[in-house]
Amino acid sequence: MKHSLPSPMTNRLIDRFPHQERKAFLADCETIDLVFGEVITEHGSRILYVHFPLDSFVSQIANLSDREQLEVAMVGSEGMLGTPLIMGVDESPWLALVQGAGPALRMPAVVFGRHLVQSPALQTLLKRYLYVVMHQLSGLAACTHYHQVEARLARWLLMTQDRAHSDQMHLTHELLAMMLGVRRAGITLAAMALQARRLISYHRGAITIVDRAGLIEVSCGCYLADRSLYRRVITEGGTA
């Protein structure tokens, strides 16, 4: 669904585009509503559009089988969907599922390719973003293998809070188990532990983050490391 008026929200990645490139880029975007549960791309499907979430967020999920799924990335107003296009590949390696409904900017893949060719500055910035994504993917693999479920759940809730722009979210144990690649019982125990510490409030799928600072303390260091990397490479434009 298209909006008749542009959203007042912004995308932090687009905000880093050079002024002239940003102006031309936005002129070729349309503002759409992403609907909760909507599949933007299927695993292995052709990427027809790039998306830049504004007040929405999307999970990118690796599918090993119908029963074996794992979230490998979460994209909100800090990033974009369609990163393979930066490398000249138009196939999606993941399922992209809307977890937070709201507006996003959308551009046809063909038009996006033209902007990349015409703007070396845009290429440079998006390659830097691609580096951030690659770094986060490798970090997630290590995090999933080595870190405890409680710390990983805290990290995931913080990531969701950042992108949902809200302390409250509705998440079932089944969804959390799929996102983190663990058994439902493990999520139940981890959520109970966080609630016992008065870091979150959890009732019938409704989660409220009560103590963000405390949640950061019990989360694995990957959360702050990811934020630091994005700030250095994208916001400040320094080296990794």
On whether both 97 and 20 belong to a single domain, the answer is yes
* 111 and 44 together in one domain: yes
If asked whether residues 109 and 158 sit together in one domain, one would say no
- The CA R_g of the chain, rounded to the nearest whole Å, is 18
Parent domain of 153: 148-219
The CA-atom distances, in angstroms, between 233 and each of 61, 119, 151 are 25, 19, 25
Query: For residue 44, which phi and psi values (nearest 5 degrees)?
Result: 85, 0
In a shared domain, residues 155 and 58: no
Name the β-bridge partners of 14: none
Closest CA to 193 of 233, 133, 152: 152
Residue 158 lies in a domain: yes
> Tens digits of per-residue pLDDT, 171-182?
888 888 888 888
Do 48 and 115 have their domain in common? Answer: yes
Cα–Cα distance, 197 to 66 (Å, whole number): 35
16, pLDDT greater than 80: yes
The model's pLDDT over 43-68, given as tens digits with 9 standing for 90+, comes to 999 999 999 999 999 999 998 776 77
